Structure 1
Amino acid sequence: MAAGQRQEPVMRVIIAFAMMIFSLNLPALAQSDEAPWRASVTGQIEAFRAGDGATALTFAGEVFRTQFEGKPEAFYAAIAASGYSAIVESRSHSFGEFNKVSDTSVLQVVRFVGPDQSLYEAMYQLADEPDVGWRVIGVVLRKQAGIAI
């Protein structure tokens, strides 16, 4: 019985170590799953900040690309004038929670620090479009309480 009692604590340590290693790898696994749509969101935000309507439009969904075909400056102006200037002029952004609704649809929370240090939260809806990848098909923006430091 003494030998069996000594093996039990060793097994617990081995199992605990294995679980720790596995849990440390979970964020990396989740990150790679999120990366495709986050890259599209970041690309569009950075294009807006740079005043580059043509690049921003490439990250938009097919409906936007069709509507503003050949008129990327009109797309940029429409977004800025539609209450999304906090995104267009944002100082920084960070990603929050996401919900992968299906294999081709994601809702992603994005937090912004606006040009006046105000805080904003946006819900991005993205679709994985054939042959082009993840594209922004809608955004709902709301101002949050507080200011960034």
Structure 2
Amino acid sequence: MRVFLGLLLSVLMLMPGWAQEAEAAWRATVTGQIVALRDGDAEAALSFAGAGFRAAYQGDPQRFADDIARSGYAPIATSRSHSFGAFRELAPGVVVQSVELVDKDGRVWEAIYQLADERDEGWRVQGVVLRSTSGIGI
């Protein structure tokens, strides 16, 4: 019985480390895509997107970046900073992550990223909802 409890405790102690690693991985994906968009690197930005986006824009990553700008998501590409807020796991391998963005004029935006841990690809952006907030960035 003690051996079982010891093993159970060991597994439970490892879980927070795994969760932190997963969180760091999906946050790296979000940051990678934001930085790529800021730098005008459409190919890199598309590489962080989910399989559906990559298939739809295959061979034309610039159209992906242009569509982001035309669809009202330009504040992501023109942001000067971003920080992570709360996240929620929707299902195993699927999370939503809140990201606060400050644009070049100091306006604050909230982006809600949905990410999935895609087989052989790692965490990829499945979609984003963006809204302006009443805050002012410093």
TM-score normalised to structure 1 length: 0.79
CA distance in 1, matches of 2:130, 2:80: 16
Whether 1:49 and 2:38 are equivalent positions in the alignment is yes
CA distance in 2, matches of 1:55, 1:91: 18
Deviation string, structure 1 residues 17-72 (Cα, Å, up to 9, x no partner): xxxxxxxxxxx845434111001000000000000000000000011000000001
Given the alignment, which residue of 100, 122, 127 partners 2:111?
Answer: 122
Given the alignment, which residue of 25, 30, 51 partners 1:36?
Answer: 25
Superposition map of 1:82-101 within 5 A: 82-101=71-90
CA distance in 2, matches of 1:46, 1:31: 22
Structure 1 residue 146: Cα displacement = 2.5
> For residue 80 of structure 2, what is the amino acid of its counterpart?
R
Structure 1 residue 89: Cα displacement = 0.4
Q: Which runs of 5+ in 1 are unaligned?
A: 1-27
SS across alignment from 1:93:
strand
Percent identity reads: 54
CA distance in 1, matches of 2:53, 2:43: 12
Q: Which runs of 5+ in 2 are unaligned?
A: 1-15
> For residue 34 of structure 1, what is the amino acid of its counterpart?
E
Equivalent residue, structure 2, for 1:23: none
Superposition map of 1:1-149 within 5 A: 29=17, 31-149=20-138
Structure ID, larger Rg: 1
How many residues in Structure 1 have an aligned counterpart in Structure 2? 123
SS across alignment from 1:97:
strand
CA distance in 2, matches of 1:35, 1:146: 26
SS across alignment from 2:49:
coil
Equivalent residue, structure 2, for 1:25: none
> For residue 112 of structure 2, what is the amino acid of its counterpart?
M
